[in-house]
Amino acid sequence: MTDSDWDTLAAAWAPAREAGVVGPVDIDDVVAHAAGYVPAAWRVQASFRGVDLGTGAGIPGIPLALLHPQSQWLLIDASARRVDLARLAVEALDLGARVELRHVRAEELSHEPTWRARVDLVVARRFGDLAEALECGGPLVRAGGRLVVSTTDEAVARLEDRDLGRIGLASIETWETTAGRYVALTGTGTANDRFPRRPPARRHSPIC
C-alpha cells in the first residue's frame, strides 16, 4: 500500500462520483472509516477472507483489500451498474487476484453452500438498516468470525434481548474511532436454514 495506490483509487472512482455512488468526501476520510471495520485483534492477522455487502463502488471493501494485502475479498451489490463501477477501481489497482465482484443479492449469496458459514469477516456500510445487515450477513460468518457494521448507538441498543442465534450470531462488541462507530457480532456458524428470509418477510418482522 502506497500513496500512489490512494491516488489511483481516487482517480478510478471519478465515474462513481459522477454517478453519485461515491460522495464528495476526501479519500483519506474514506480510508480511515474503512480501517475501522477490522477488529483490533485482527489488525495483525496476515490473511482473512472477507465479504463486503452492498459494496457500491467498492467501499469499504477495496480500501480494506489495500490495507490488508494478504486478504481475499468478495464485493457484492444488487446493482449491476455499481458492480461495474467497483470493477473499474479493482482493475485500476490490479486487485483482480484477491478481489472478486459479483452482481448478486446478499440473501441469495448467504444460501450458497460455498459461502454460508465460511467467511472470516463480513462488513456492511450502507446496506439498509442494521436488521437487514445482520440477517443477510450473519449466516455467511464462520464460527468465530465477525460481522462488522458501521452504525449508531440507538441501533445497537435494539439488539438487547434479541435472539441472534437463529441468524448465526452471538456476542456483541462495539468500538468507536475518529471516523465512525462500529458494532461487531461473533459468528456461530449455525444459522437456521430459513435465514435470511426474502425481503417482504424481513420488512414485516425485522430481526431487531
Mean pLDDT along residues 89-96: 96
For 41, half-sphere exposure in the C-beta direction (CA atoms, 13 angstrom radius) is: 6
Q: How would DSSP label each residue in 87-151?
A: HHHHHHTT-TTTEEEEE--HHHHTT-TTTTT-EEEEEESSSSSHHHHHHHHGGGEEEEEEEEEE-
Q: How confident is the model at residue 1 (pLDDT cuts 50, 70, 90)?
A: low
Render pLDDT for 29-74 as a digit per residue (tens, 0 to 9).
Answer: 999 999 999 987 776 676 899 999 999 999 999 999 999 999 999 9
- The reported pTM is 0.95
Q: Do residues 69 and 16 touch, judged by C-beta distance below 8 A?
A: no
Cα 191–chain centre separation: 18
Whole-number Å distance between alpha carbons of 37 and 26: 18
